[in-house]
């Protein structure tokens, strides 16, 4: 579902700082060679993630759901000197491609890619996170949130993607309430009612929920 007129979206992108050469390459190659390219954060959302990271200036970033590495590289632009971005994905078929992009970026020594189950891997990472980005399977969003909230410092941020789920969070945009849609709705409500955070849900692309830990 497109939330704004296509021409307005193009106008927004035309008046947004451009992708760098590597991000443009990842964008293009993902659409040409990888299944489900809609999962890519893309130009507009990528620049938003970059700006948030630069405002937060994180020392430690956690991402759950790497895909082809686009969003990770956008957030890495805001890392403090000596900082580290940890990103976890279960798709081992993309590991070589993603690691290649990381190495090419100049941030390679500050980005660690983990392949496997995030529920098993994240508890083993010895870090307190300044910024967490959730962009993996929606069924486990609440589990990921519960797992990371105590590993986020006070004043740190959790950003979750796809929280409008193609508009299906509203009954008029869905034919039935499937498991993924219910999981997204449950997650949105959980975060909204969590007194440990303050939050805003932005209708950017497929929806970004931003929560700041008090």
Question: What is the β-pairing status of strands 111-115 and 197-202?
Answer: unpaired
Percent of the chain exceeding pLDDT 70 equals 99
> What local confidence, expressed as pLDDT, does residue 5 receive?
82
Average pLDDT, whole number, for the chain?
95
> What local confidence, expressed as pLDDT, does residue 6 receive?
85
> Which of 84-88, 106-110, 201-205 is modeled with the greatest confidence?
84-88
Least reliable range by pLDDT among 34-38, 49-53, 115-119: 34-38
Half-sphere exposure of 157 (CA within 13 A, CB side): 20
Q: pLDDT of 123-152, one tens digit each?
A: 999 999 999 999 999 999 999 999 999 999
Grade residue 162 by pLDDT with cuts at 50, 70 and 90.
Answer: very high
Mean pLDDT of 95-112: 95
Q: If one looks up domain 6-213 in CATH, what number appears?
A: 3.40.50.150
Closest CA to 88 of 110, 116, 124: 116
Mean pLDDT of 141-166: 97
Q: What are the C-alpha distances in Å from 134 to residues 4, 7, 127, 211?
A: 24, 29, 17, 11
- Residue 165 CB neighbour total at 10 angstroms: 23
Residues 71, 51 contacting (CB under 8 angstroms): no
> What local confidence, expressed as pLDDT, does residue 103 receive?
96
Grade residue 44 by pLDDT with cuts at 50, 70 and 90.
Answer: very high
> For the chain, what are the domain ranges?
6-213
CA dihedral 58, 122, 119, 38 (to 10 degrees): 40
pLDDT of residue 2 exceeding 70, the answer is no
pLDDT of residue 90 exceeding 90, the answer is yes
CA pair distance 140, 157, nearest whole angstrom: 19
Q: pLDDT of 47-76, one tens digit each?
A: 999 999 999 999 999 999 999 999 999 999
> What local confidence, expressed as pLDDT, does residue 95 receive?
96
pLDDT of residue 205 exceeding 70, the answer is yes
């Amino acid at each position: 579902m497109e939330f704004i007129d296509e021409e307005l979206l193009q106008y927004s992108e035309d008046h947004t700082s451009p992708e760098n050469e590597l991000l443009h390459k990842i964008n293009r190659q993902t659409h040409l060679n990888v299944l489900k390219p809609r999962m890519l954060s893309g130009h507009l959302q990528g620049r938003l993630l970059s700006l948030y990271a630069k405002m937060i200036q994180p020392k430690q970033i956690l991402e759950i759901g790497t895909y082809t590495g686009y969003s990770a590289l956008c957030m890495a632009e805001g890392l403090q000197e000596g900082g580290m971005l940890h990103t976890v994905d279960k798709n081992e078929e993309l590991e070589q491609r993603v690691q290649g992009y990381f190495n090419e970026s100049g941030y390679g020594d500050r980005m660690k890619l983990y392949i496997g189950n995030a529920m098993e891997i994240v508890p083993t990472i010895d870090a307190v996170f300044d910024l967490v980005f959730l962009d993996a399977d929606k069924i486990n969003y609440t589990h990921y949130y519960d797992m990371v909230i105590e590993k986020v410092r006070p004043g740190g941020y959790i950003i979750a993607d796809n929280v409008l789920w193609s508009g299906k969070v509203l009954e008029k945009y869905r034919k039935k309430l499937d498991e993924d849609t219910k999981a997204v709705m449950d997650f949105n409500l959980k975060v909204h009612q969590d007194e440990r955070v303050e939050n805003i849900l932005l209708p950017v692309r497929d929806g970004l929920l931003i929560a700041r830990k008090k």
